[in-house]
Every structure is written in C-alpha cells, then in structure tokens.
Structure 1
Amino acid sequence: MTDLPALYRVLSPARVPGGKLVAVFPDASGDLQARAASIRTPLSVFIQYFNVSDVVLRVFTPTREKGESDSGALAALSWLFGRGEIADLADIHMNGEVVPAQLCGGEWLLRQGDVTAQEAPAEGAAERLGLEQVGAVHTARISRPTLAVELGGLEELQAVASDPEAVKAVGLTTDTTGLLLYVPGGVPELGHAAVSFRAFGPLRGWGEDAASSNMFACLVGVLGARGLLPEEAGLLRGLQLKPGQPARLSAQFVAQPSGASDVWVGGSALPEQ
C-alpha cells in the first residue's frame, strides 16, 4: 500500500488552472476513506484492478464514497496509459457499471450514450431563475431529464447567481432533475470552444458542477436537435464556466434530428506540477 498518490488536473483549460484536481492511488487496500481524507483533494480515485483492457475503480471525496466519477476515470486512465499499462481502448468499471473509454487526439473520452432532446415550454423558467429573457428551451435525456435554456449572451451566463431553491422549483415544475444554461461561443483566453455553459443539479445532490460530462453530452443532444452541430467533423469543444473554476470538455458524436447518438465526452488529464 502507498499513500503517495499522483495528482492530476482534469478538464482544465490550457491557460487558466481549473477543472478538477484528482488524486490517483495505484492500489485499493486499507481504509480508502481515511486515505482520501488525508489527501484533501476534491476527488480520490483508487485503482482496484486493471489489465490491458479493463480498469476497476473506486472513487471517494474526503467525506464519502462517490461511487462513480468521469473526472476520476479520466485521471486514472491517463496515469495507467502513461505507464504503458493499458491500451487506447478500455472498459471502466465503477459502482457496478461499465463505461467504454477511448483515447482520441491525446484525450480520453468516455461513452455517455444516445441523447434525445425536444422543445420544452419556456413559461416560468426565466422568472424563477431571475433571468430577463431566455431563448430556446429544451428537455434533454440520457438516463435522467435535464432542462437546457439558451441565454442571450456570455455576460448574462456568467452573471447568473447560484440559487439551489430556484433551480429545484424549476425542476419540479418541468419534471427535470438538472439545469443547463448555455450560450454559443467561448471565452478567448480559455481556448477555442463552440459553446459555453453552466450546470446545476440540486435535485441530484449537488449545487453547481465544475466539469460535468453528462451535462455536456445533454447539451450536445440539444444542439443536434436544433441543427447546430457541425456536419462534417463530429467533434465539439465546450467551456463549463462555474465561477472561478472553468473547465474545457470535448465531445465526439453522431448528429441526429432528435439529438445525438453515440456521444463520448472527455478531455485533458495532466499531472499537476
């Protein structure tokens, strides 16, 4: 057993430290919760078993077992691949689920699945969230329904105050459990991106996430349903703009009139200096 993990910065823009900091432990022995608490990083991932094509992980926060985490998986994959332990295709086993992973252009991507999206009524969303006006409103679904609301511009997106009770109220009204706010385009100093967004999930047990693969996959489906995905290259980059903790994500997909199929999401995972 070792208590000296490798630290990885996951899904961070190149020029501004952000994303999530993950501790990668190469073994899963002893009191995992105590080991995670001693490191004090937001996420600790323990490699329980691996061979060339399968990786079994357990993921903890400093206070509880998280069960699964795409950010934790990206860090573990990067650590293992950097040591020559796995191939560029692997199955990730977490919390009883199996998630395919692939290395694409130097970034690991995890399969999110097929996303369907349809227009949703806009009534009440702007008022409850304190927004002056909203654009397109859709409900997107992989396994759970997410409300996606287009805002008027980047400044409006960045100015939104986190209000868990308001987000809960919108979710209960629209029968959704997550909220996406988004605008086209990115922030130049954070690198090229086709879309910027923020993600909220108090009905899923968290307030605002800094880097959510599932939410970005839902947004890809919404853009597909709106006919806004690139037709030739099935690759999209997005910025998640939680205040003070930006993230940059990549998505691979097949655009569909009803959303997007075979969506994979991931991004960079680099050793923390």
Structure 2
Amino acid sequence: MSVSHPSPQPPTLCRVFAEPGGQGGKRVAVFLSPVADPQTAAARSGAPLSVFVEAADLALVHLRVFTPTQEKGSSDSAALAALSALHARSPLSDLLTVVQGAGPGAEEQSAQLCGGEWLLRQGEVTTAPVAADLAPLGLAGLDAWVASTGRPNLVVGLPSLSALEAFIPDDHRVAAVNLATGTTGLMLFAPGGPGRIQVSFRAFGPLKGFAEDAASSNMLACLTGVLASGGQLSPDTTLLRAAQCKPGQPARLSAQFAATASGTEVWVGGRVEAL
C-alpha cells in the first residue's frame, strides 16, 4: 500500500524595496514550511530568489537562499522577505540574529525591527576622499570617495537627478575605473528624489558579476557613510530615505546610522509587500 505525503505549502510571494504602489523592487518567494528539495522548489517558484526557513525562534532565524539554478550564499532582500513573513505569522523579537547558508560558510547578521521595517546591520563604514580619473566615465571633475564595510566601493557625487538618470554605463570602463581605484563597485548619487526621498543613487558592479543592481543594501550603507562623514545628513535624524534608480526597476531603501569613533555604523532595510 502506498503512503501519501502532504504536498508542501506554497510559498509566500513578496516584493522587497518596492516603491509605494508595488512598483520595482525585488520579488522573493518565502518558504515557511520544510521543503525536501529546495533547489527544485526554487526553480518552480517563479521568483528570481527563493528563501527557505530552516529554523526560527524569537531570537534566531536560520535561512537558505536559492536562485532558480543554484544556492546563493546570502541575500539581504531574501532575509528581509523571510523576516517579514515570519513576523506576520508569529511576532519575532525586535532584535535578533539571522544566519544564512549552511556549514562553515554560513553568514551571520543582526536584524532589528524599526518603524515597521526590518533593517539588517551592514557594519561600520569607513570613508576617504580619492583623486580618481573619472574621465573614462564622462564624469571628470566630480568629487569621489572610497567607502567600505569590508568591500571597498567608489562613490561619486553628481550635480543633479537628471545627470544621474542620464548616465549610460559601460561595463568595461566601469571595471577599469574600479581596478584603478582598488574598488569593487561604483555608486553614483544625487541629492533629492520623489516624496520623502533625501538621496537617489545607482549602483554598478561588473567586477562583482552584475552590470547594475536594482537594490543594494551594502552600496547604500557606503553612501550613508560618505554623506555622514561629509556632514551632509541632518543632525536631527538618524534615518536616511533613499531611492535606487535602476532604469525600469526602481527601489526604495532606508538606512539607520550612528557615528562611531572611526566611521559610521549603518543598518539598511525597507518595505516588504506580500503579493
């Protein structure tokens, strides 16, 4: 006699970092119940990222993240989606630890709930101005910084939102400028944005394996460190609202920051909407 097994529960589909109204951001499938074959489930989910909750209690959440074709070590978008889905089912502690991955390569990160949004600790950002040759990018004469939480990025300030929108990246030239400055990614930013947005930015990383990212927590952390070190953030707040402006895939992110003895401590998160 054959024994029937219950079908796995369908995932919760979320959009992370979306604009109000659900535009842009990143789609994530959250599997809250055990799955025998996560890779197959991820391939069938229809989402670019799938996150599987391995274990969860009030203070610790253990996750594994997959693309449709392979396991991904970690993803802030996936972690935020999982925390939001778990918290909606049964409230979590407002401050907890998230572990992503399996075995010795697992990554551990602190998370906190702030104003209804989950934020993930990016670490302490250190910054320094740099004299970079930006002419190959058509950006000669602009101010630039190297900012890092462990992975150095080149941050360049543009004069206006229109200049930010008009920039057309060339992977080879971006990679060459990164190599020349000892950085791994490029971020361009301009003040302002729609609604309550204080700063808008775009993030490029051909040396990291992508042309332009739609929502990058680490890049925003680096930008926050640059703005804080230059006195460009209001002393009356510790929260920065930012718009990431990849063409056709806009995103909204939030950064919480605090000055330290050697840099700026930054946490980054954003809205998660169930689809």
* TM-score normalised by structure 2 residue count: 0.92
Asked which structure has the greater CA Rg, the reply is 2
- 1:258 deviates by 5.9
Q: 2:179 aligns with which of 159, 172, 182?
A: 172
Distance 2:77 2:19 in 1: 14
For structure 1, list consecutive stretches of 5 or more residues without a partner in the other structure. Answer: none
For structure 2, list consecutive stretches of 5 or more residues without a partner in the other structure. Answer: 1-6
Contact (CA 8 Å) 2:95, 2:112: kept in 1 or not? Answer: yes
Q: 1:108 aligns with which of 118, 124, 127?
A: 118
Task: For residues 124-170 of structure 1, give each alpha carbon's deviation from its aligned partner in whole angstroms, at most 9, with x where no partner exists.
Answer: 21x21133x45320000101100000112111111112321111101
Letter in 1 for 2:223: L
Task: For residues 222-266 of structure 1, give each alpha carbon's deviation from its aligned partner in whole angstroms, at most 9, with x where no partner exists.
Answer: 0012111221211111000000111111111113586412x1100
Contact (CA 8 Å) 1:19, 1:246: kept in 2 or not? Answer: yes
Contact (CA 8 Å) 2:137, 2:169: kept in 1 or not? Answer: no
Relative to 1, partners in 2 of residues 1:230 and 1:255: Cα closer, same or farther, differing over 3 Å?
farther
Task: For residues 188-213 of structure 1, give each alpha carbon's deviation from its aligned partner in whole angstroms, at most 9, with x where no partner exists.
Answer: 2xx31110000011111222110111
Equivalent residue for 1:45? 51
Equivalent residue for 1:84? 90
Q: Does 1:129 align with 2:132?
A: no
Distance 1:85 1:185 in 2: 35
Equivalent residue for 2:205? 201
Distance 1:30 1:160 in 2: 45
145-154 vs 85-94, greater mean Cα deviation: 85-94
Distance 1:257 1:140 in 2: 16
* TM-score normalised by structure 1 residue count: 0.93
Q: Does 1:58 align with 2:71?
A: no
- 1:184 deviates by 0.7
Q: Does 1:239 align with 2:239?
A: no
- 1:27 deviates by 3.1
Letter in 1 for 2:172: E
Equivalent residue for 1:210? 214
**SS state of the match for residue 10, structure 2?**
coil
Q: Report how many residues are paired.
A: 265
**SS state of the match for residue 87, structure 1?**
coil
**SS state of the match for residue 144, structure 1?**
coil
Q: 2:231 aligns with which of 211, 227, 233?
A: 227
Relative to 1, partners in 2 of residues 1:258 and 1:184: Cα closer, same or farther, differing over 3 Å?
farther
Identity across matched positions, percent: 52
Q: Does 1:25 align with 2:31?
A: yes
Distance 2:261 2:164 in 1: 27
**SS state of the match for residue 245, structure 1?**
coil
Contact (CA 8 Å) 1:51, 1:85: kept in 2 or not? Answer: no
Letter in 1 for 2:124: D
Task: For residues 65-103 of structure 1, give each alpha carbon's deviation from its aligned partner in whole angstroms, at most 9, with x where no partner exists.
Answer: 111000000000000000115222221001312111111
Equivalent residue for 1:251? 255
Q: 1:265 aligns with which of 259, 263, 268?
A: 268
